[in-house]
């Protein structure tokens, strides 16, 4: 198996990060890989916010959990509680991907996100894609966080990615081959 296919096959969603922060070189390589993502007509309808401030990540985490509690989403609260009571699993680094609201913004941001997690794994780091990272921006402190994170005008949350060193590993998810139809 070639290196790219091995990285894709081995990557998993980490939900147990150690306190170890990625190096500046690793962060730069991940951002460069993200920016290499293709986009429709090369518009690049995204903006990346790199949060390298553990206290701020924890603040966002607490607000996100508060928003979910206020939504009274019992199903997701049970999931959160079963995973230690946090959204961001002690991750030391978080990337927030914003999209410009254009017709391809969300799709292209997803492609960029995949580049991020594959680059992280190739560097020996763990990652987790977190859609629930939107929650802190929906609560009473949402505008405050958008201002602190310098959301550019016209951009909105697309997806978040947690990155760090895994405290413990796990196997990648099972591939469900029933999700594929071949037409010959």
Q: What is the pLDDT of residues 32-80, one digit of tens each?
A: 999 999 999 999 999 999 999 999 999 999 999 999 988 877 888 888 8
Q: According to the model, what pLDDT value does residue 151 have?
A: 98
Residue 83: per-residue pLDDT: 83
Is residue 139 within 8 Å of 68, Cβ to Cβ?
Answer: no
- The helix or strand, by DSSP H or E, that contains position 174, with its residue range, turns out to be none
Give CA–CA dist 158/108, Å, rounded.
10
What per-residue confidence (pLDDT) applies to 73? Answer: 75
Report the pLDDT value the prediction gives residue 66, as an integer from 0 to 100. Answer: 92
Domain spans in the chain, listed from the N-terminal domain onward? 10-170
Tracing tokens 């609201």 back to the chain, one arrives at 101
Task: Provide the pLDDT for residue 167.
Answer: 92
Question: Tokens 């959204």, residue?
Answer: 87
pLDDT at residue 133 is higher than 80: yes
Alpha carbon distance 43, 183 (integer Å): 33
Which pLDDT score is estimated for 180?
95
Terminal CA-to-CA distance of the chain, rounded, Å?
A: 25
pLDDT at 157 over 90: yes
Mean pLDDT score of the chain, rounded to an integer? 94
What topology does CATH give the domain 10-170?
NADH Oxidase (3.40.109)
Secondary structure (3-state) at 67: helix
Q: Helix, strand, coil % (nearest 5) of the chain?
A: 45, 15, 40
CA 88/CA 54 separation, integer angstroms: 11
pLDDT value of position 74:
81
Q: Phi and psi for 47 in degrees, rounded to 5?
A: -145, 135
Q: What is the pLDDT of residues 12-41, one digit of tens each?
A: 999 999 999 999 999 999 999 999 999 999
d(CA 94, CA 56): 10
Torsional class of 19: left (φ above 0), alpha (ψ -120 to 50), beta (otherwise): alpha
């Amino acid at each position: 198996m070639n290196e790219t296919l091995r990285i894709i096959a081995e990557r998993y969603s980490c939900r147990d990060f150690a306190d170890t922060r990625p190096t500046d070189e690793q962060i730069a390589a991940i951002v460069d890989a993200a920016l290499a993502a293709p986009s429709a007509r090369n518009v690049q309808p995204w903006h990346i916010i790199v949060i390298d401030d553990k206290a701020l990540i924890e603040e966002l985490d607490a607000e996100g959990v508060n928003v979910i509690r206020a939504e009274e989403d019992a199903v997701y609260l049970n999931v959160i509680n079963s995973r230690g009571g946090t959204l961001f699993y002690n991750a030391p680094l978080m990337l927030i991907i914003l999209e410009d609201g254009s017709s391809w913004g969300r799709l292209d941001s997803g492609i960029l996100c995949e580049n991020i997690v594959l680059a992280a794994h190739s560097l020996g780091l763990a990652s987790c894609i977190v859609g629930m990272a939107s929650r802190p921006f929906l609560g009473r402190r949402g505008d405050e966080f958008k201002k602190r994170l310098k959301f550019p005008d016209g951009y909105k949350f697309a997806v978040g990615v947690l990155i760090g060193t895994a405290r413990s590993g796990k196997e990648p998810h099972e591939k469900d081959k029933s999700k594929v139809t071949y037409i010959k």
